[in-house]
A and B are shown apart, each in its own frame.
Chain A
């Protein structure tokens, strides 16, 4: 008897169908992987189970009893807990308060029981003892934490609900390897206790490391469920993609770069700043320079410093041979520097505004545009969006109506109207599905062929190895190794990344 069974669940927002027909069956004591490209309806399915989205149709059976999940509170009462992909944390509250937020322990009817709060927090923090990193404590406010640490807090919050059904919607996207390993140990432990766990991830290795069964969703419909033991990664991808056979370019070596010293478009000399030191590198025209290493070793900080998003650092930067020290992103953009962040909610998307407005801000800035005719802008925006195979209804739909992957495509498209000289990619594929990644990297290579200098930081090793001409491995805010040519192997990358650790 399945613990939780969904059949024919659907949800539409106006004309956009988020989930056409969701079917899912989870047993007790299993880790059930949910996989599908972005916008296929995984998150919607999870939110329906967790009560934060109300389904239009369909049936939910919990322990063979039909139930109506009327809200997040009701879901908890039914024994369903969830980790939200976009996190559900209060930034100014402490870690301990966030862990217990849904159910603050009470004293005398109205007071928060601080002791119970602290001891509950200590219990869940102890689970991640040793991998939480610097500055993590029960009384640290969430806003002072790094992205991976916040994700850990959201995991602890989900675990603290102690519900029989636990849903994890991309809980590992910001975590480093040690944190993921610890999280998987915890999941195995919960599985042994008979809990039912739904796990979503875009990382194939994680899926095969932890999953018992996998359910594939494509375009809002459940395609099928397989036992992990009976399928291989290629099989999963085939299920996800459907009829189209090849989607990602084969993991062959990237085209040999034509980087000669003369064509240097971006030069960095002795650059130091918060979180990194002694950076020295050059990016040639048409070269893709990769930043590798474990998560949070200063890769993003370097990119943001070049783009002028963080306070000026020491050292010298040259752009097209001229000294360049952007004091603000505005200045960097005017000089032909582009930056795409993986944290699109913070750094990319203009929330609640139409897609058109989200494609054109850079154009406004670079052309010093004061008045614009929407029809003229539309002609410029459409080719940029089509170059990335962006799925959208009309340009005037708000950006929030798109899935995460398509939102990121819109953010990238805004740099394509006026071609930059340097493109800084800061983990651009975070939370993006495989086919969107393929589209993105095809475009990145095309840009490189056209002479754009590209710096790519990716937390996924495969993306670096498949796309970068050269890889600088970061460790503790320094470049510890440069991998070129045939040295670019997973083994060398791991070795350099883990060296000092």
Chain B
């Protein structure tokens, strides 16, 4: 009655609703712009083969960005994600080598790799959620710990992965590259995970963990599950990077950690938690990949590449914020 007359608010336009429903739209627009620029400077880069190459190189970062997203949902962060990638990478490479590199031993090693990722995630979850240490510092500490383990498993980089493994990752089945199958499976997994109770609960905790606790949610257990999921996806990222580099390197993932955080933010998720999408993080990781390749295609001198890369990521972040704000205003 009275309240219906009361609050004259502007009718929300279709565009606004669209942006609210799909918060990763700004990221998608940036992605389109970057694709166009890449095509402009190197037409072959946007061909089927070029895109396959891009996905093959950046599937690891995509996986890690997805891993990061689930902990960010709950307002946490995982600075050990890259270290988990390193650890799983060296564990599977060493196991594959010791077990002979046959198809079966590769599968077994991958199983162990997943278990290692899961275990690392659970350790993070216990440290952060059950022991209540600050996520940013606690996972920084576990990252050093995991890197230490990786160095123990394989002190020097260079042990090659068996051919059966990386040929599969880089190969084709029925004329379609393996990584595209991987992307399709990944899309289905993301779709399924987005509909789980866990995803909703993680987001609710990110919104207001005290409210979630008072609502009767098992907050600690849910946050640990978020970290566990992160560990599993970090292990998948390690599989991708092993397939791409075809070797073991105890420090391979370290640099990826903050890139994964950047991808999550580029994708429109809030680092404070409670708001975001996994698809956005996937797009964010692709944006970072496209920026890196664009910097290369434009012909930036090697000593300037980092500087330009950094600037480009800043610009992409700003563009995302501006586009999102304009659309929601």
A residues touching B (Cβ–Cβ < 8 Å)? 50, 52, 71-73, 75-76, 82, 84, 87-93, 97, 101-104, 106, 110-112, 114, 130-131, 133-135, 141, 146, 148, 157, 176, 178-179, 274-275, 294-298, 475-477, 497-498, 500-501
Is A75 touching B216 in the complex (CB atoms < 8 A)?
Answer: yes
Nearest to A74 among chain B residues (CB) is B216
Contacts of B212 in A (CB 8 A): 88, 90, 101
A130/B1 in contact, CB under 8 A: yes
Pick the residue among B2, B206, B215 that contacts A101 (CB under 8 A).
B215
Which single residue of chain A is at the shortest CB-CB distance from B205?
A90
Contacts of B215 in A (CB 8 A): 72, 88, 101-102, 157
Query: How far in angstroms is the closest Cβ of chain B from A262?
Result: 36
Q: 18 extra interchain contacts, Cβ-Cβ under 8 A, other than A90-B207, A133-B6, A296-B7?
A: A52-B214, A72-B214, A73-B216, A76-B216, A82-B214, A84-B211, A88-B215, A93-B203, A93-B204, A110-B196, A114-B195, A131-B1, A131-B3, A179-B3, A275-B9, A477-B6, A497-B2, A500-B2
- Are B4 and A87 within 8 A (Cβ)? no
Q: Please list 26 pairs of residues, one from A and one from B, whose beta carbons are closer than 8 Å in the complex, sorted by A's number.
A: A71-B216, A72-B215, A75-B216, A84-B211, A88-B212, A90-B207, A90-B274, A91-B208, A92-B275, A97-B200, A102-B216, A110-B198, A114-B195, A131-B1, A133-B3, A134-B7, A157-B215, A179-B3, A275-B7, A275-B8, A294-B2, A294-B3, A295-B3, A298-B6, A477-B6, A501-B5
Interface string of B116-149 (1 = CB under 8 A from A): 0000000000000000000000000000000000
* Known A104-B201, A178-B1: A294·B211 in contact at CB below 8 Å: no
A240 → B minimal CB distance (Å): 27
Q: Judge whether B217 is part of the interface by a CB distance below 8 angstroms.
A: yes
A179 to chain B, nearest CB (A): 8
A97 to B199 alpha-carbon distance, docked (Å): 12
Q: What B residues does A111 contact at CB under 8 A?
A: 192, 195-197
Is B50 at the interface (CB under 8 A from chain A)? no
- Could you tell me if A476 and B208 are in contact, using CB atoms closer than 8 angstroms? no
Q: CA separation between A373 and B2, bound complex, in Å?
A: 51
| Distance from B128 Cβ to chain A, minimum over Cβ atoms (Å) | 20
Q: Pick from A50, A93, A477: contact of B200, CB below 8 A.
A: A93
Partner of B8, one of A84, A130, A178, A477: A477
A72 near B216: Cβ-Cβ < 8 Å: yes
Q: Find the B residue at minimum CB distance from A474.
A: B6
Which of A90, A274, A498 touches B211 (beta carbons < 8 Å)?
A90
- Considering the chains assembled together, what is the distance between the CA atoms of A82 and B6 in angstroms? 30
A72 to B210, CA, bound (A): 11
Could you give, for residues 175-217 of chain B, a 1 whenever the CB lies within 8 Å of some chain A CB and a 0 otherwise?
0000000000000000010011110110110111011111111
Q: Which residues of A contact B192 (CB under 8 A)?
A: 111
Taking a contact as CB atoms under 8 Å apart, the answer to whether B204 and A90 are in contact is yes
Assess whether A112 is in contact with B196, with CB atoms less than 8 Å apart. yes
Cβ B2 vs Cβ A91 within 8 A:
no
In the complex, what distance in Å separates the CA atom of A146 from the CA atom of B211? 18
A93 to B217, CA, bound (A): 15
Q: How far in angstroms is the closest Cβ of chain B from A301?
A: 9
A97 CA to B203 CA in the complex, in Å?
A: 11
CA distance A89 to B213 in the complex (A): 11
Question: 8 Å CB contacts to A: which residues of B1-59?
Answer: 1-9, 20
B218 on the A face (CB < 8 A): yes
Partner of A148, one of B3, B210, B211, B218: B3
Out of A50, A91, A114, A130, name the residue touching B214 (CB < 8 Å): A50
Contacts of B204 in A (CB 8 A): 90, 93, 97, 101
Would you call the interface of chain B mostly helix, strand, loop, or mixed? Answer: helix
Q: Given A72-B215, A76-B216, A131-B3, do A92 and B203 touch, yes or no (CB 8 Å)?
A: yes
How long is the Cα–Cα vector from A384 to B203 in the complex, in angstroms? 42
Query: Cα distance A93–B201 when bound, in Å?
Result: 10
Q: Which residues does chain B contribute within 8 Å of A179, judged by CB atoms?
A: 3
Contact of B6 among A72, A101, A296 (CB under 8 A): A296
In the docked arrangement, what's the CA distance between A141 and B196, Å?
Answer: 19
A103, chain B: closest CB distance, angstroms:
8
Closest to A131 in B: B1
B1 neighbours in A (Cβ, 8 Å): 130-131, 178, 501
Chain A residue with minimal CB distance to B199? A112
Please name all residues of chain A whose beta carbon is closer than 8 Å to the beta carbon of B206 when the two chains form the complex: 92
Is the beta-carbon distance between B3 and A134 smaller than 8 angstroms?
yes
Query: Once the chains are docked, how many angstroms separate the CA of A42 from the CA of B208?
Result: 23
Question: Which chain B residue shows the least CB distance to A499?
Answer: B2
Nearest-neighbour CB distance to chain B for A451, whole angstroms, equals: 34
| Residue of B6, B203, B207 with most chain A CB atoms under a 10 A cut-off | B6
Chain B residue nearest in CB terms to A75: B216
Interface residues of B in 217-265 (CB under 8 A from A): 217-218
Of the residues B5, B197, B211, B213, contact of A87 by C-beta under 8 Å = B211
Q: How far is the CB of B92 from chain A (nearest CB, A)?
A: 27
Please name all residues of chain B whose beta carbon is closer than 8 Å to the beta carbon of A104 when the two chains form the complex: 197, 200-201
Cα distance A50–B211 in the bound complex, in angstroms: 13
Closest 10 CB pairs of A and B: A90-B207, A133-B3, A501-B2, A88-B211, A72-B216, A90-B204, A102-B216, A476-B5, A88-B214, A92-B275
Q: Chain A's nearest CB lies how many Å from the CB of B11? A: 10
A72 to B212, CA, bound (A): 10
- Residue-wise, chain B 273-307 has the 8 Å CB interface mask toward A (1 for contact) of 01100000000000000000000000000000000
Q: Which of these, A72, A106, A157, A178, contacts B197 with CB under 8 Å?
A: A106
Minimum Cβ distance to chain A for residue B190 (Å): 14
A52 pairs with B203, CB closer than 8 A = no
In the bound assembly, the distance between CA atoms of A274 and B211 in angstroms comes to 30
Q: How far is the CB of A99 from chain B (nearest CB, A)?
A: 11
A72-B213 contact, Cβ under 8 Å, with A112-B200, A297-B2: yes
Q: Are A92 and B6 in contact (CB under 8 A)?
A: no
A131 to B2, CA, bound (A): 9
A500 pairs with B213, CB closer than 8 A: no
Alpha-carbon distance between A203 and B214 when the two chains are bound, in angstroms: 26
User: In the complex, are the beta carbons of A110 and B197 less than 8 A apart?
Assistant: yes
Do the beta carbons of A90 and B6 come within 8 Å of each other? Answer: no
Q: Output the least CB separation between A45 and chain B (Å).
A: 15
CB distance from A208 to the nearest CB of B (A): 24
CB distance from A287 to the nearest CB of B (A): 27
A313 to chain B, nearest CB (A): 13
Residues of A within 8 A of B195 (CB): 111-112, 114
In angstroms, Cα B195 to Cα A141, docked, is 17
B208 touches A90 (CB 8 A): yes
- Rounded to whole Å, the gap between the CB of A44 and the closest CB of chain B is 14
Closest CB of chain A to B262's CB: distance in Å? 22
How distant is the Cα of A475 from the Cα of B3 in the complex, in angstroms?
A: 9
Residues of A contacting B275 with CB < 8 Å?
92
Knowing A90-B211, A91-B208, A477-B8, the reply to whether A498 touches B200 (Cβ < 8 A) is: no
A157: chain B residues within 8 A (beta carbon): 215
Q: B2 contacts which chain A residues (CB < 8 A)?
A: 176, 178, 294, 297, 475-476, 497-498, 500-501
Question: Closest CB of chain B to A46's CB: distance in Å?
Answer: 11
- On whether the beta carbons of A134 and B9 are closer than 8 Å, the reply is yes
In the complex, which residue of chain A has the Cβ closest to the Cβ of B275?
A92
Q: How far is the CA of A101 from the CA of B197 in the complex (A)?
A: 10
User: Shortest Cβ distance from A316 into chain B, in angstroms?
Assistant: 21
